[in-house]
Amino acid sequence: MDILIWLGIAVLTIVPMFKLLPHFKISHYWAIVCIVPIGTIILLWLMALKLQDMEKR
């Protein structure tokens, strides 16, 4: 049962990532990494770094 809950959360995270990642010049296929919990954290960290880079310009 826990795995079904986790898959639901993963899907709810992957769908918005498909739309957000191209704005940060990251391939939208990297959104699949959100299946792994640490993958979501890493992608959010990379997006934050790119956002800081954009703000400096």
Q: Counting beta carbons within 10 angstroms of the beta carbon of residue 54, is it exposed (0 to 12), middle (13 to 18) or buried (19 or more)?
A: exposed
Q: For the whole prediction, is pTM greater than 0.75? A: no
Structure tokens at 15: 């769908």
User: What is the band of 52 on the pLDDT scale with cuts at 50, 70, 90?
Assistant: very high
Domains held by the chain: number: 1
What would the pLDDT profile of 10-51 be if each residue is shown by its tens digit? 888 888 888 888 888 888 888 888 888 888 888 889 999 999
Which residue segment(s) compose the domain that 16 sits in?
A: 2-56
CA distance 44 to 50: 10
